[in-house]
């Protein structure tokens, strides 16, 4: 396969409601899409970097720049290429995993579309439907939170994740447990908002029988997580700290977590995400698929990944309507608490031309 050219496309996707976490509030998703043309087929990738470097060091403008100046030219210079070679070709460029993931995904999508194979088949999926959880942002009040959770449970979501931060943690969790009972699968996500000095406070979450607490400490504080895991009974899950199969192996060896959130964009792509899945499965560690407010393109790939056997916990692969009134693709609809895995070639979905045109704010073609 030879890359003929790559299109970088910026789209602005308004969210149905503001989404607040410990690091900020989003009202519109600024998305960078990557379309790779191989001559035989075209493939799509979605860069999950945010508009500002608050969740991670990467951000949308920087991802576009590194793709334009370094990643696409390096890939285009390769005389022969397949998706499994992309990471090695791009390895001399340090970091920029989200940008690399988008480009690798576009190449993989094109390759699989040309071959008539789906992402699910390529990854080794064992299910054609995956159970879905939902991530609930920080609210202005507990009554507002309870109304939101009630709505998501009524829609059929099988797991609730509450975003937390200092001052919004124990009481919201207590309120949800008291209102909806112990049978609701419930977990919390701190997005690095705490320090090890907060260990006694975080232990106050233990009585609520949470599935896990996600990334309570700074992403670089792996040893701190190992210490915290010994001081609380709630299972510790790592998100931002897991950037590769190598860092996942180190975290597991240190006892820094007993659950892993796999976000393909954060680890450099779906092929590395599958390696992390395989590592965790070999060690009996449950994994689940995190979300980054993806459009239908990213959601299709996430759902296919979440159909692998080691994904034993419901992920954040929510329905399209959770975030967008109109998705880029045919919408993913929740049915009986699950989303269907696309069976078609490649991602199994494509952007709807009229929708894509309506939300596009800029395009750039990089010829090989």
Active-site residue numbers? 163, 263
Lookup: tokens for 272: 């590395």
Q: What residues contact residue 58 under an 8 Å CB cut-off, 6+ apart?
A: 49, 95, 96, 97, 98, 99
Partners of residue 11 on adjacent β-strands: 31, 360
Other beta carbons within 10 Å of 253: 10
d(CA 293, CA 274): 20
Partners of residue 367 on adjacent β-strands: 5
Place of tokens 């180190």: 250
Residues 134/151, Cβ–Cβ less than 8 Å: no
Lookup: tokens for 85: 């070679």
Other beta carbons within 10 Å of 94: 5
104-136 burial, b at 16+ Cβ within 10 Å, e below that, comes to bbbbbbbbbbbeeebbbebbebebeebbbbbbb
Strands 185-189 and 129-131: unpaired
d(CA 243, CA 224): 17
d(CA 353, CA 220): 42
């Amino acid at each position: 396969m030879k890359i003929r050219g790559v299109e970088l496309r910026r789209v602005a996707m308004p969210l149905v409601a503001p989404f607040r976490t410990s690091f900020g509030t989003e009202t519109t998703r600024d998305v960078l899409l990557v379309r790779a043309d191989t001559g035989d087929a075209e493939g799509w990738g979605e860069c999950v970097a945010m508009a500002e470097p608050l969740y991670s060091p990467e951000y949308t403008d920087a991802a576009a720049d590194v793709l334009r100046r370094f990643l696409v030219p390096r890939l285009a210079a390769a005389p022969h290429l397949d998706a499994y070679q992309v990471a090695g070709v791009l390895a001399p460029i340090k970091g920029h995993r989200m940008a690399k993931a988008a480009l690798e995904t576009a190449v993989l999508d094109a390759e699989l579309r040309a071959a008539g194979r789906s992402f699910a088949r390529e990854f080794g999926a064992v299910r054609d439907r995956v159970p879905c959880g939902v991530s609930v942002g920080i609210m202005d009040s507990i009554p507002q939170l309870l109304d939101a959770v009630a709505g998501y449970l009524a829609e059929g979501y099988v797991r609730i994740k509450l975003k937390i931060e200092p001052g919004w943690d124990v009481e919201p969790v207590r309120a949800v447990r008291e209102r909806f009972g112990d049978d609701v699968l419930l977990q919390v996500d701190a997005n690095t908002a705490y320090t090890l000095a907060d260990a006694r406070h975080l232990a106050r979450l233990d009585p609520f029988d949470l599935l896990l607490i996600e990334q309570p400490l700074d992403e670089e504080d792996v040893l701190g997580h190992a210490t915290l895991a010994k001081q609380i009974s709630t299972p510790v899950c790592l998100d931002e700290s897991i950037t590769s199969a190598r860092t996942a192996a180190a975290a597991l060896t240190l006892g820094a977590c007993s659950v892993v959130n796999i976000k393909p964009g954060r680890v450099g792509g779906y092929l590395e995400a599958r390696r992390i899945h395989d590592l965790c499965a070999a060690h009996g560690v449950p994994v689940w698929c995190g979300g980054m407010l993806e459009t239908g393109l990213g959601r299709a790939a996430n759902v296919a990944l979440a159909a692998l056997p080691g994904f034993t916990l419901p992920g954040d692969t929510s329905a399209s309507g959770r975030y967008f009134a109109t998705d880029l693709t045919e919408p993913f609809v929740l049915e009986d608490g699950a989303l269907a895995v696309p069976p078609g070639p490649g991602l199994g979905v494509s952007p709807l031309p009229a929708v894509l045109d309506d939300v596009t704010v800029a395009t750039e073609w990089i010829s090989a």
